[in-house]
Amino acid sequence: MNLDRLGPYVYPLFRIVFGFLFLCHGLQKFGVFGGHTMPLFSRFGAAACIETIGGVLIAIGLFTRVAAFIASGEMAFAYFLSHYPRGFLPIQNQGEAAVLFCFAFLYISTRGAGGFSIDGR
């Protein structure tokens, strides 16, 4: 079975799912989904804004490359600032999500929105 033909459908699904999960990650910092409200004018408040707005833009495929590049950078920053001091490996420092988001968004920033997106229209 040749799975290459599914690529044009799977990639947009990948982008939408990661964008939605990033949106949820940001909304937690606003007190949604059992999260804790963070002060808006703080490092976590800035992260909440980047994650919420970036998650929406990535999921709908609008300004996808820029939004994904910023999101990737934010996750790299989060990893090295918050997780890395607790241990070298992501499995030791609970940084797996930050690493996964970072590299998924880096990939999306190089590939663009793909199908099923506003950018693609």
The pLDDT value given to residue 40: 93
pLDDT of 54 higher than 90? yes
Backbone φ, ψ for residue 37 (5° rounding): -70, 130
pLDDT of 120 higher than 90? no
pTM above 0.85, yes or no: yes
pLDDT of 2 higher than 90? no
pLDDT of 43 higher than 80? yes
Instruction: Tell the residue number behind the tokens 């690493």, with chain if given.
Output: 99
Q: Quick one: pLDDT band at residue 48, thresholds 50, 70, 90?
A: very high
